[in-house]
A and B are shown apart, each in its own frame.
Chain A
Amino acid sequence: MSTPETDWPDALFSSLLEAGIGTVAYVPDAGHARVIALAHEAEGITAVPLTTEEEGIGYLAGAWLGGLKGVLLMQSSGVGNCINTLALAAQARFPLLMLVTMRGEWAELNPWQNPAGGAAEESLRLMGVRTWRAERADEVEPLVSGALAMTFAGDMSGAVLLGQRLIGRKLW
């Protein structure tokens, strides 16, 4: 069953609920807007806006210590902000799943997005974060649900990159 082009955020959010996610930390991004709105509306989800992405790594580590499962939402420009703080997840083997909306990789008209967008996946891998990529709407739910299963069962760090072709062109 294919997922309509615009319904992937709802499918993504359903995956979070099915996995028992109780908190969603985020720095806003247009590509995550629907999921962020759903997180704020949902009973039993604590939505936590961050001033910078690396706060989410510490926050989710503390939440896990206290028995609460969460995920971290960001745009690709935020990956670089996380680099040193990823040591916390790596060293303690905290389960950490980041959902990263991509900029600077396709039809990007703001070239300031290109350096970080182009380096995001490689940077994550250099820090020991497993990555998966979704380029089509029907890939999102299986990749996110699989990544949730793997990161929490394996006490490991992972990131699902949501490609810019999936998100759509930003119009200026």
Chain B
Amino acid sequence: MSPAAEALERRAVVRTLLAGREDLAVVTGLGSPSYDTVAAGDHDLNYYLWGAMGSAATVGLGLAIAQPRRPVLVITGDGEQLMGLGALATIAVQRPANLTIAVLDNERYAETGMQRSHTGAGVRIDQVAAACGFAWTAELRESAGVDQLRARLTAFTGPNLAVCKVEPTDLPRVLPPIDAVYLKHRLRLALGFPPR
């Protein structure tokens, strides 16, 4: 079960998921998933969380319900999603077909010193999502699976959740904009909402 046995490179996963994105909106959990996402290229349709741990999936749910014809991707980590396990039940009840959650699972809390997380002790977030009633879930360890996940982003057959087992590397940080008001207005403008 160790990710060292067979695991993905986290920034390659995010690059693959975001390659050729068109109207895809992205919400990221705090810490490494945000760095991975901005490393793949900042974008007006990205909303990076720097706190409110456990909220990435619920922000994604709100955006998905408000914009049902637009694919929405949440990119977060195992620790962040573990703090919002109940949100998986809330999302499953709403069944947003346009929402996908990608959990970059290094089985660690990288931001605070690489302490082991519950997923390293066998907790399966994808199986939690499946038991809640997500339309599709998977645990991915190979790049072919990431390509299939990429295709699902725009298939409108969700909600989807994939746990992407990634190497426990501590990569150089690539920091996204930190001004949450700026990010809010930038995304809303990109969706066509004028300044208020």
Q: Interface of A with B (CB < 8 Å)?
A: 23, 46, 48-52, 54-68, 70, 84-85, 87-88, 91-94, 155
Q: Please name 7 further chain A to chain B contacts, defined as beta carbons within 8 Å, in addition to the given A50-B90, A67-B191, sorted by A numbering.
A: A23-B65, A48-B94, A55-B86, A58-B58, A63-B63, A65-B63, A155-B196
Q: Which of B24-50 contact A (CB under 8 A)?
A: 25, 27, 47, 49-50
- Contact (Cβ within 8 A) A57 B55: yes
A54 to B86, CA, bound (A): 10
- Contact (Cβ within 8 A) B90 A88: no
Q: Interface of B with A (CB < 8 Å)?
A: 25, 27, 47, 49-67, 70, 84, 86-87, 89-90, 93-94, 180-181, 183-184, 187-188, 191, 193, 196
- Contact (Cβ within 8 A) B90 A66: no
A52 to B86, CA, bound (A): 7
- Contact (Cβ within 8 A) B27 A88: no
B59 — nearest CB in chain A belongs to which residue? A62
Secondary structure at chain B's binding surface: helix, strand, loop or mixed?
A: helix
Asked, given contacts A51-B89, A92-B183, whether A63 binds B65 with beta carbons under 8 Å apart, the answer is yes
Instruction: Tell me which residues across on chain A come within 8 A of B59, comparing CB atoms.
Output: 58-59, 61-62, 65, 88
- Contact (Cβ within 8 A) B180 A49: no
Pick the contact of A61: B62, B70, B93, B191 (CB < 8 A): B62
Can you list 6 A-B pairs, Cβ within 8 angstroms, ordered by A? A50-B90, A54-B55, A58-B87, A85-B52, A87-B52, A92-B181
Instruction: Tell me which residues across on chain A come within 8 A of B66, comparing CB atoms.
Output: 23, 62-68
Asked, given contacts A62-B61, A66-B191, whether A88 binds B89 with beta carbons under 8 Å apart, the answer is no
- Contact (Cβ within 8 A) B53 A94: no
Pick the contact of A65: B53, B54, B56, B184 (CB < 8 A): B184
Instruction: Tell me which residues across on chain A come within 8 A of B84, comparing CB atoms.
Output: 55
- Contact (Cβ within 8 A) B55 A85: yes
Instruction: Tell me which residues across on chain A come within 8 A of B87, comparing CB atoms.
Output: 51, 55, 58
- Contact (Cβ within 8 A) B188 A65: yes
B184 — nearest CB in chain A belongs to which residue? A92
A52 — nearest CB in chain B belongs to which residue? B86
A48 to B193, CA, bound (A): 24
- Contact (Cβ within 8 A) A55 B58: yes
